[in-house]
Amino acid sequence: MRIARFVVDSDPLYGVVEGDAGSEEITVIQGDPFFNGVERTSVRHKLEDVRLLAPIIPRSKVIGVGRNFVEHAHELGNDVPAQPLLFLKPNTAVVGPNDPVVLPEFSEEISFEAELCVVIGRICKDVPEDRVDDVIFGYTCGNDLTARDVQKTDLQWTRAKGFDTSAPLGPWIETELDTEDLQIQGRLNGEVRQDGNTNQMIRGVRELVSIVSQAFTLLPGDVIMTGTPAGVGLVTAGDRYEVEIEGIGRLSNPIVRR
């Protein structure tokens, strides 16, 4: 099931996206699916007539996982960490499909990172791996934009990873997905730059969620960004970066400087 957040006139709504590409419709659901479940109404719209928003604005946090693909760690001259390298992005970093990524004034080296993202569905702590599926609401595409120059000079990654618009998410949440063998692609202005697979992850989704839950109490709507495959590079104003993940869809964002 594909759960989207969108606007038609003013107030954001949630809906279920159904149908084949080019003829998709979205059925409005009652309230917030994270707390009310998925209760369809009789209101339907053509997908092309609505504006998709970030499928979730986390009430609490976005957790990133660094260097979870061997080749990506090596391409930046880093070793594979012995323990998961975790960091936080604020919810103000989140934007949705086709929203602009605004390059911050303090950096001249912003890079893209296509990632599978896990959306948490219930409050949980210290989740064993064999119970992880019980706490996951679904999955979406993400782009963990990073100020590389700032990442090198700051003692920690908050500015480099957490600036406004640094966490595009979308286009929707897919609630039913086998994450063991999914293609992850990233395209800069239509050209493939990243082409990896979740089977290349050092730690898979279930292991990551379990480990993250040992550090943080996870709340409904929290997002875990699971790491990026090799091929990262820089973006400049006027570019567009697309993240496409098998079984979910495509997230596309223009890059601007103001």
Domains of the chain: 2-52 (no CATH), 62-257 (3.90.850.10)
When pLDDT is averaged across residues 65-89 and rounded to a whole number, the result is 87
Range with lowest mean pLDDT among 8-22, 93-107, 167-181, 225-239: 8-22
Contacts of 110 (CB under 8 A, 6+ apart): 101, 103, 104, 145, 146, 147, 148, 234, 235, 255
pTM over 0.75: yes
Question: Which contiguous run of DSSP H or E holds residue 151?
Answer: helix 148-153
Nearest to 233 by CA among 167, 156, 143, 163: 143
- 22, pLDDT greater than 90: no
pLDDT given for residue 80 in this prediction: 78
Q: Which residue has the tokens 């996982």?
A: 65
pLDDT given for residue 72 in this prediction: 84
pLDDT given for residue 79 in this prediction: 79
pLDDT given for residue 217 in this prediction: 98
- 73, pLDDT greater than 80: no
pLDDT given for residue 83 in this prediction: 87
Q: Which residue has the tokens 């692609």?
A: 185
Contacts of 77 (CB under 8 A, 6+ apart): none
When pLDDT is averaged across residues 86-114 and rounded to a whole number, the result is 98
DSSP state of 106: T
In angstroms, the CA 171 to CA 17 distance is 10
Residue 10: which pLDDT band, with cuts at 50, 70 and 90? Answer: confident
DSSP state of 253: E
Residue 230: which pLDDT band, with cuts at 50, 70 and 90? Answer: very high
What's the CA dihedral at 202, 203, 204, 205 to 10 degrees? Answer: -140
pLDDT given for residue 81 in this prediction: 84
Per-residue tokens: 258: 């103001």
β-strand partners of 119: 138, 223
Amino acid at 115: E
Per-residue tokens: 225: 């960004």
In angstroms, the CA 101 to CA 236 distance is 10
**Beta carbons of 193 and 233 less than 8 angstroms apart:** yes
- Of all residues in the chain, the percent with pLDDT exceeding 70 is 100
When pLDDT is averaged across residues 66-88 and rounded to a whole number, the result is 86
pLDDT tens, position by position, 138-191: 999 999 999 999 999 998 999 999 999 999 999 999 999 999 999 999 999 999
pLDDT tens, position by position, 84-99: 899 999 999 999 999 9
Residue 9: which pLDDT band, with cuts at 50, 70 and 90? Answer: confident
In angstroms, the CA 96 to CA 142 distance is 9
In whole angstroms, what separates CA 58 from the centre of its chain?
Answer: 11
